[in-house]
Amino acid sequence: MNKLKTFFILLVLFACSNQKEKDLEIDLIDHVTRQLEYAVEISEPVRDSILTSPRTIVDGELKLVRSRDWTSGFFPGNLWMLYEITGDEKWKEYALEYTLPLEQEQWNGKTHDMGFKMFCSFGKAYKNTGDEAYKKILIQSAKTLVTRFNPAVGCIRSWDHNTDKWDFPVIIDNMMNLEFLLWAAVETGDQSFKDIAITHAQTTIKNHFRDDNSSYHVIDYNPETGEVENKHTHQGFAHESAWARGQAWGLYGFTMMYRETGMTEFLIQAEKIAAYLLNKPGIKDGEIPYWDFDAPNIPDEPYDASAGAIIAAALFDLGKISADGKLYTEVAKNILESLSSEKFLAPVGENKGFLLLHSTGHKPHNSEVDVPIVYADYYFLESIIKRNNFEKTE
């Protein structure tokens, strides 16, 4: 009888816990919806045919960027995700309004960031509307992206700037653009898109990672021979330090590569990166990373909420495909809970409409330090969707 009583008590507690989580989820979605309504409201008067999309806050003012900026696809992506969450047609209309100005970027071969720009915007437009015109734009964008692939190196070139410093730079961020190529391979039947994505990822495993499974930011190659010339961490504290967002990009990128290809080597790499991250103080408990894990003045260093959001989004996926999935999912939930707290989630009607506080873009250049940044919001929303989808399948 005592055992039966205990069982029913636990059942009631479990039900109450689940109801509390559902109530908190409803509150969070309401908060996000009202804040993005505010974001659109204050963006509209300052947008024009040149400056298309919010990126951050500079000196207290909203900063919008041109379509060619690598972050231009994230805000339309945020609007598309809110449409997916709410089903409210007005978000679809807003999303299209911010997506369509990026159409010209399908021909821009001077950037490796086609995934960020075009797949986050037009990719979601095609997913949510089925409009073949958007598919055509995406396929041309993928064709433009692969013109930057160098077979001798085995990678897609990242930056074209600072030619005095690098010959053929490849950044860990570039892993995030490979999902776009894998999509293009499926949609077109052209295997070369997939081959390039796989080769780039395999080359990255070979050269980007240290013995402790942390990664450099930039690997510079000889474009003729493919030999490694330099290993740098351009946006981190030092070349041998672990820039937090770089580790997040790697985790997300290799988790995605396994999810999309089923190739075990990518799962192994993702799990190695996850092990590195989860061994860092506080991460298992959901603490948000500082901008560099080796920054000298922790805890008196800026956070990077964007790194936390990317890690959470990646761990929700890794939680579905790894033998250690339960651990990864719990950590993802803990991080998402931290991002949803008053410390990181901006009050409605403040923060120029951005959702999250305390991201860091490029601290060594004193650029975008401890400010909201649009891609933090993007992966925060993605994490919310992934958590919701995960819980529906439990």
DSSP summary character for residue 345: B
Could you please report the per-residue DSSP string of 238-306? Answer: STTS-BHHHHHHHHHHHHHHHHHH--HHHHHHHHHHHHHHHTSTTTTTTPPPBSBTT-TTTTSS-B-HH
- If you average pLDDT over residues 111-128, what whole number do you get? 98
pLDDT for 22 equals 54
The verdict on whether 173 is a catalytic residue reads yes
Tell me: cis bond preceding 296? Omega within 30 of 0 counts: no
pLDDT for 380 equals 98
Fold of the CATH domain 2-393: Glycosyltransferase (1.50.10)
Q: State the pairing for strand pair 228-232/359-362.
A: unpaired
Q: Is the per-residue pLDDT at 185 higher than 50?
A: yes
pLDDT for 203 equals 98
| Among 69, 113, 220, 292, the one annotated catalytic | 113
368, 382, 384, 386: which is closest to 78 by C-alpha? 382
Strand, helix or coil for residue 98? helix
Confirm if 105 and 67 have CB atoms less than 8 A apart. Answer: yes
Q: Is the per-residue pLDDT at 273 higher than 90?
A: yes
Q: Is the per-residue pLDDT at 10 higher than 60?
A: no
pLDDT for 198 equals 98
Q: Is the per-residue pLDDT at 4 higher than 70?
A: no
- If you average pLDDT over residues 49-59, what whole number do you get? 97
pLDDT for 20 equals 46
Residue for token pair 């919001």: 377
What's the rounded Cα separation, in Å, for the pair 317 and 357? 24
Residue 347 banded pLDDT, cuts 50, 70, 90: very high
- If you average pLDDT over residues 136-146, what whole number do you get? 98
C-beta atoms surrounding 99 within 10 Å: 27
What's the rounded Cα separation, in Å, for the pair 156 and 172? 11
Confirm if 101 and 89 have CB atoms less than 8 A apart. Answer: no
The chain-wide mean pLDDT, for the chain, equals 94
Residue 14 banded pLDDT, cuts 50, 70, 90: very low
Beta-carbon contacts of residue 150 (< 8 Å; ≥ 6 apart): 156, 157, 168, 221, 223, 226
**353-377: per-residue pLDDT in tens?**
999 999 999 999 999 999 999 999 9
The verdict on whether 324 is a catalytic residue reads no
Helices (H) and strands (E) in the chain, counts: 13, 9
Token readout for 218 is 């930039």
10-14, 78-82, 99-103: which has the minimum mean pLDDT? 10-14
| Among 69, 173, 292, 377, the one annotated catalytic | 173
Confirm if 24 and 341 have CB atoms less than 8 A apart. Answer: no
Residue 252 banded pLDDT, cuts 50, 70, 90: very high
Domain boundaries, the chain: 2-393
What's the rounded Cα separation, in Å, for the pair 283 and 289? 7
Token readout for 281 is 């103080």
Could you please report the per-residue DSSP string of 115-129? Answer: IIIIITTHHHHHHHH
Residue 249 banded pLDDT, cuts 50, 70, 90: very high
Residue 391 banded pLDDT, cuts 50, 70, 90: confident
Q: Is the per-residue pLDDT at 194 higher than 50?
A: yes
- If you average pLDDT over residues 27-51, what whole number do you get? 96
Confirm if 381 and 81 have CB atoms less than 8 A apart. Answer: yes
What's the rounded Cα separation, in Å, for the pair 336 and 316? 10
- If you average pLDDT over residues 111-117, what whole number do you get? 97
Beta-carbon contacts of residue 321 (< 8 Å; ≥ 6 apart): 255, 258, 259, 267
309, 200, 348: which is closest to 261 by C-alpha? 200
Residue 119 banded pLDDT, cuts 50, 70, 90: very high
Residue for token pair 């692939």: 149
- If you average pLDDT over residues 177-188, what whole number do you get? 98
Token readout for 27 is 């509150």
Residue 16 banded pLDDT, cuts 50, 70, 90: very low
pLDDT for 3 equals 59
Q: Is the per-residue pLDDT at 18 higher than 60?
A: no
Q: Is the per-residue pLDDT at 308 higher than 50?
A: yes
